[in-house]
Amino acid sequence: MGVEKSAYRQPVTPQGLKAIEKGTLTWLDDDMYNNLNTGVLEQYLEEKNLDESFEVSHWSTPKVMYGIAIGAIFSGVTAYIGLKLGLAISAAWYIAYLLGMALKWSPSEVNIATSATTGATHASTGFIFTFPAIFLLASDPRYFLADGPLISNADTFNLAFVGIVASMFAGFLGIMYFIIFRRVWLVEDPLPLPGFEATLKMLDIASDVNTGAVEHARASLKTIGWWTTITMGALFLIEYPLVWLDGKKWALIDFLAEKGHIGEYGLATFYSKGKIHQPSGIDEVTGESLNYTHWSEGTAWNPFAYTYIGVALTPSMFAIGWFMKTRVAFLVNLGTLVGWFFLVPAVVYFNFPIYDATLQSSIPIQEYAKGGSASLQMIAFSKSVRTIAIGSIVGGGMFGLAKMWKTFVNIFADIGSAFKGEGSQEYMEGKGWYEWPLKHIPIFMLITFVSMILIFTVGGFSVLASLVFATVLILTTFLLGAIAVRVMGETGIEPVSGTSFIVLLMLLGVFLNAQDLLQLDTQDAVLLGLVGTTVFGSAISMSGTVIGDYKNSLYIGNRPYHISKGNIMGVIPGAIIGAGVAIFLSKQLADGTIDLMAPQANAFATFSVIFAEREGDLILLGLGFLLGMFVEWGTGMGTSFGLGMYLDVPHTLPMLIGGYSRDKWEEKRLKPKIDAIKEKDGATAAEKQRALILLSTFMVAAGLLTGEAFFGTESSILSFIDSLWNPTSTNPEGMFFGINDFANSTAWYIGRMAGFIGLNVAIGGGIFLLFKRAGVIGGDGGESADAILEN
């Protein structure tokens, strides 16, 4: 009989089997690495951990608080990245790992502390993807109906409070649910979780202080700091309104581009607003870029009038591409390429009718170009292609579930095995808890169920509607969350957006078709659906987060109980801070104060309008649904395909450039160097050096992510303050403290600049002092660091 081999069960090596039989195989040795995801290894380590983890896995509240602090801060950073790019990617765990390594923590301590970091970072995922749709429906004219906005008098503060508190309970529930599957999917039949090896290798490096890991960690933290500074400096030149002249505000690069022209020719035809783009022409008088090639009967011959090609100067997308490498970056962005190089040109060329919600009628797209200049490709993208993208997201997600019907059926068997406690022990007499007790799950399900009813009833919804939502949340978090985690375990990507669309479809279907019974008007039905989907997104995001922490803990001897505890402790501060930043940015986004793509939020807003009005182009939605199903069938990336279609080319090309750059760098620079080390010092030394060198590039990428997120958040705050002085829809007189139009004065220019510089100096100084006291900068990082943690 042959050895079973699958995507998540590899054959054990003869040497590894021999070491397991003798009991000599241990954490982080070569035999462990050679037998990852065999099932035999994981079961052996589970038994080993039951006996020995109590000597290794120790809880340290001060160290966990370090992890929570990093995660809470970066939850806001993640919110900005998620709204700008549509990807909730955070560098928080890199920084937490490095800080632990620099402070000479053991791998066990690093793993426990970073479980709190990841818990805090992802507790507010629903507020990044879904909640902003409420602000868009209330304030963005693109989503207005013929008689005004779909949401006109919502109490956003009340909704935010309801959403944050509910997300905390949902986050706890998401963590609890995965306790059921830990032994089944990480021990008995281990899911591979592609990419987890990077974190495991970092823990390995941290375990061997003689390899120079401490010094390397300190150098890596400095690398992050320098590249964060460099990124913010570059973005200052690209985005900060540095030049105020003739009543207009320019970023320095835009100013130089617009003023350096002769007639119709100049740099502005290729560059504007942080993007290098196809030649578009410029205004002869002002020198301003036309930004896009505009379609007209006279330019119908020009292929650039039918689409748009450009590269945004966004460091974070390059960094994300570097993490992904070429293949994954291409698959994630395949939808963008299809959308912009096939669908958008087709819509413009064939004069496709565009549905206008305000007019409640369809108009041939080329009609928009009559009577003035219009970028038809942008109209095609926002009005038609994004509708197809929504359908693709839903179709890919639902077909992905259909493909996994056997998994769905087998989940119930997995649940039965877990509750029987086959081969597992929760409490070790005389030692303590090894795993979080399963009996807490039904108790917390009941607590969450009752709490959701109370929270949403107090929030102004009827008791029956709150009861329906609580029931849907308990069931969908359990069933869809389990499948989402299974998908993540197989592919490395958790389909939060795809499953959230399915939940929104379910909720709107119930609430809109039973309004009288549930005592809901259309606005309240949409609000309850969006807030409910927000809560669901946070719940399953926490399930996906904890799986990675559990998997690493198995290989280094940590108790699952400590991992669960760390994630749970991170939920509350992460939900509050991350949601707070997301809500603030969402309001600025909807008011037009800042410009962020927010692809999921825009998709949810469009989806809500279509279902609430029972209008919109359902044919395009259906075509997108079928397209998403096809791509899911062919590649297994249907949800990512749909999300990619929702992004624009300038923000995806940097990702592809980043992925390709890493592949070429590894081929031309890294591989020859590692081959030389392998020939001289052996395979083990070469592999560790490879991890350290690759880690250095990750730190540069982390600096790019962090720098753009910090700069973007600070710019959003300053833009918000600007709006307090300038006339807006919410502040028509443009007055604050009795001063009118102060935002255009020289005094405000100086104050704004001083505040911006002072804020960054204060943040940088605080980080410097923290690291200096901890021994990361200066000193040896030994006793002084431990003394600080004990205090």
Task: Convert the pLDDT of each residue in 389-407 to its tens digit.
Answer: 877 877 877 787 677 666 5
pLDDT at 303: 86
Indicate the pLDDT class of residue 358, thresholds 50, 70 and 90: low
- For residue 602, pLDDT beyond 50: yes
Please tell me what DSSP assigns to residue 369: G
Indicate the pLDDT class of residue 15, thresholds 50, 70 and 90: confident
Mean of pLDDT values over 190-209: 70
Q: Number of helices and strands (H, E) in the chain? A: 32, 13
Indicate the pLDDT class of residue 457, thresholds 50, 70 and 90: very high
Query: In angstroms, rounded to a whole number, what is the distance separating the alpha carbons of residues 183 and 560?
Result: 10
Model-wide pTM > 0.75? no
Query: In angstroms, rounded to a whole number, what is the distance separating the alpha carbons of residues 789 and 454?
Result: 40
Query: In angstroms, rounded to a whole number, what is the distance separating the alpha carbons of residues 205 and 690?
Result: 11
Mean of pLDDT values over 258-283: 80
Q: Which residue has the tokens 């007209």?
A: 296
- For residue 193, pLDDT beyond 80: no
Indicate the pLDDT class of residue 781, thresholds 50, 70 and 90: very low
Our measurement of the distance from residue 435's CA atom to the centroid of its chain's CA atoms, rounded to an integer in Å, reads 29
Q: Which H helix or E strand runs over 356?
A: strand 353-356
- For residue 790, pLDDT beyond 70: no
Backbone angles phi, psi at 740, to 5 degrees: -100, 135
Please tell me what DSSP assigns to residue 514: S
Mean of pLDDT values over 221-246: 86
Radius of gyration of the chain (CA): 27
| Ranges 261-265, 304-308, 778-782, 784-788, most confident | 304-308
3-state SS class at 736: strand
Mean of pLDDT values over 19-39: 84
What is the CA angle 362-366-372, rounded to 5? 115
State both tokens at 745: 């004065």
Indicate the pLDDT class of residue 706, thresholds 50, 70 and 90: confident
Q: Residue 250 is which amino acid?
A: W
Mean of pLDDT values over 84-91: 67
Indicate the pLDDT class of residue 783, thresholds 50, 70 and 90: very low
